[in-house]
Amino acid sequence: MASQNTPTLIVIAGPTASGKTAAAIALARHFNTAIISADSRQFFREMSIGTAKPTDEELAAAPHYFINSHAIIEPFSVGDFERQGMQLINDLFKVHNTVILAGGSGLYIKAITDGFDELPSADPAIREKLNKELSENGLAALQEQLKNVDPTYYDEVDIHNPQRVTRALEVFLSTGKPFSSYRTASAVKRPFQTIKFALDWDRETLYNRINQRVDLMIEQGLVDEVKSLLPYRHLNALATVGYSEIFNYLDGNTDLPTAIAAIKQNTRRFAKRQLTWFRREGNMIWMDASKPDMVEAMIAITEQERQK
């Protein structure tokens, strides 16, 4: 049975633009604790506007970790996040009874809560073959392959991210086993209690929030941010929604309104995949994010869960 003294990790998950930052800060202030980001792009100092990082005021409202923690040129995998994140959590639990983990990257959250299965090393020849296919036939061809061999992961992954798509295909072609099978093993026993919340909106409202966020990113200078990253566009971190579309515009392949519309559409698709992931996860407590008393309800549920 848990108790008030049991170290507790509160997870705040959900799709992009669902209000995770505000909820995490409110809970962190209530429990006088820190927030660990589980957003696979907010780690990088050079990517701010397009990743919707917390504002300076939000960062000052509670201690945050794994935001602006790495340079874009540093390789940083989900395995690295698990190792560094667990070390940080162990340190934080020495001074806090509660720690917040917030973000929309389901694989990174799972790495902390359940442990991350070590993936096999890719055969260099397979990686070279996939990169050649990507270059010659485009991402759509690899997406179709992934859909055929691992429909579970296809439904969840950001299929516009070539790194994620090619990595999943590497694993399948190297082992004969789908990438998704490597995260269905028994969860690692962690030395803390985990309470998982997921923020939910009706679909129309969520999509409107996403569209408004993209418009705000443009107003804040997303195009200039992407221009500043042109020397690094080959890096995997930038092969992602919000950056790929602006690179396409800067290459002269489309106009800006079309690029903005593509960001909105691809972000909505990504949000749908995030929801698919979290709905397949067990032990998620879904919260109606439109309710003004949502945070109070989360606090009450946390106290109840600690007594089980």
pLDDT tens string 247-292: 999 999 999 999 999 999 999 999 999 999 999 887 899 999 999 9
pLDDT at 30 over 60: yes
Give domain 8-117+189-306's CATH superfamily.
P-loop containing nucleotide triphosphate hydrolases (3.40.50.300)
CA distance 288 to 308: 23
Of the spans 41-45, 72-76, 129-133, which averages the highest pLDDT? Answer: 41-45
Looking at residues 236-240, what average pLDDT do you find? 87
Write the CB contacts of 304 (distance below 8 Å, at least 6 apart in sequence).
none
pLDDT at 98 over 60: yes
Of the spans 126-140, 164-178, 248-262, which averages the highest pLDDT? Answer: 248-262
CA distance 188 to 120: 19
Q: Which amino acid is at 234?
A: H
Q: Are 109 and 269 in contact (CB under 8 A)?
A: no
Average pLDDT over the chain reads: 91
Binding residues for ATP: 14-21
Residue 73: other Cβ atoms inside 10 A: 10
Report pLDDT for 75.
Answer: 82
Binding residues: 14-21
| CA-closest candidate to residue 211, choices 288, 266, 290 | 266
Which architecture, in CATH terms, is 124-183?
A: Orthogonal Bundle (1.10)
Q: Which amino acid is at 21?
A: T
CA distance 6 to 3: 5
Instruction: Please indicate whether residue 261 or residue 154 has the higher confidence score (pLDDT).
Output: 261
Residue with tokens 């989900």: 78
CA distance 304 to 2: 10
Q: Are 145 and 137 in contact (CB under 8 A)?
A: no
Concatenating the DSSP letter of every residue in 281-304 gives SSSEEEEETT-TTHHHHHHHHHHH
Instruction: Give the residue extent of every domain in the chain.
Output: 8-117+189-306, 124-183
- Least confident span in 38-42, 119-123, 135-139, 177-181: 119-123
Report pLDDT for 84.
Answer: 96
pTM for the full predicted model: 0.85
pLDDT at 1 over 50: no
pLDDT level of residue 138 (50, 70, 90 thresholds): confident
32: left (phi over 0), alpha (psi -120 to 50) or beta: left
pLDDT level of residue 185 (50, 70, 90 thresholds): low
Binding residues for substrate: 16-21
- Least confident span in 128-142, 193-207, 279-293: 128-142
Report pLDDT for 4.
Answer: 58
Report pLDDT for 186.
Answer: 63
